[in-house]
Amino acid sequence: MSNSILITGGAGFIGSHLADEMLRAGCRVRALDSLIAQVHERGERPGYLDDDVELIVGDVRDADCVRRALDGVDAVVHLAARVGVGQSMYDIAEYTSVNGEGTATLLQVLLDHPVKQLVVASSMSVYGEGLYADAGGRLVDAAERTREQLERGEWDPVDADGRPLAPLPTPEDKPPSLSSIYALGKFDQERMCLLFGSAYGVPVTALRFFNVYGPRQALSNPYTGVLAIFAGRLLNERAPLIYEDGRQRRDFVSVYDVARACRQSLERPDRAGRTLNIGSGESVSVLEIADELAAVMGREQIAAQVTGKYRVGDIRNCFADIARAGDAIGYRPQVARSEGMAELADWLAGEVATDRVDDAAAELAARGLTV
């Protein structure tokens, strides 16, 4: 494995945990991060970032900054991105610039500063709806919901005859269905990196993260992971807001498992050149996860509010088939959800969150992005 690692977005939630993982593995770790206010409210080095991590504050779109960050580096884990399906649908230029141009800038600079390996963070969002089976057991990889269907409150995908489809674990060979600007950008990132690796002989692995949770999430960011958004509401004694009927299913994976997956990818350059799902391999409804979070936080009395509304870009069901990651890099999730949720609650007990969810919801509504 490489000895010197650059993590773009390395001062963030996943990046800082990956930094810890790589330091434990004996690597030198450098982080490049712009410390944007939406994630880092005070715009300064976060206290949770290990002192042994060298932090370069700068924008991944700044080629000169990227050159400095790459000096003496053996491998790169590219996490830097704007994150948020809803926000991406109206902050289009910013998401396209950071996620697309930022990745292109990194690859352009890598032409003159070659590294031994590159790992890029992709997302389950590239799938759109996950894999389904129809009543006859046939696989359906293009289940779509029409706006008219959603306006009637008919949330579940159906076949051509109106019969319900059964959600299944989604494998990497399920064709993409890009239902948001964010999803489009993540697919763009992974394909650019894989094409670059193929052309220049660099081992590249794209990891499609599912719903990552754990300590250090940006609780005041209304477009971060759903568990962090729910936690921010509960910390302020307010009900989590749930779209549709709350029965949509997701795959929640611990940030510690995600960090291990990144390290394992770096340890197996011989298995590069592919995309891998990184999830828990289990599914849970959004309403169930909200209730679980309230329980471990001691706020069972605050029931989630099911809005019955729909956000443009949202999907109904998607959870991971993780068999390929197991075969390729030996990935096996180690953190049970009960364990991860309990640790999250312990961390939340010492945190303060500014609740901006209502503002975000109003912004989406004003732009016609909620039904």
Catalytic residue ranges: 182
Helix and strand numbers (H, E) in the chain are 13, 16
Quote the tokens at residue 44.
């300064």
DSSP 163: P
Strand ranges (E), the chain: 4-8, 28-33, 54-57, 75-78, 117-123, 132-133, 139-140, 166-167, 204-209, 211-213, 241-242, 249-250, 252-254, 274-278, 284-285, 305-306
Taking the CB of residue 199, how many other CB atoms lie within 10 A of it? 9
325: amino acid identity, one letter: A
Residue in 60, 53, 61 with CA at minimum distance from that of residue 33:
60
Region for residue 330 given its phi and psi (left: phi exceeds 0; alpha: psi -120 to 50; beta: otherwise): left
Q: Please state, in angstroms and as integers, the Cα–Cα distance from residue 326 to each residue in 52, 78, 131, 172, 332, following that order.
A: 31, 21, 19, 13, 6
DSSP string covering 243-259, please? -TTS--EE-EEEHHHHH
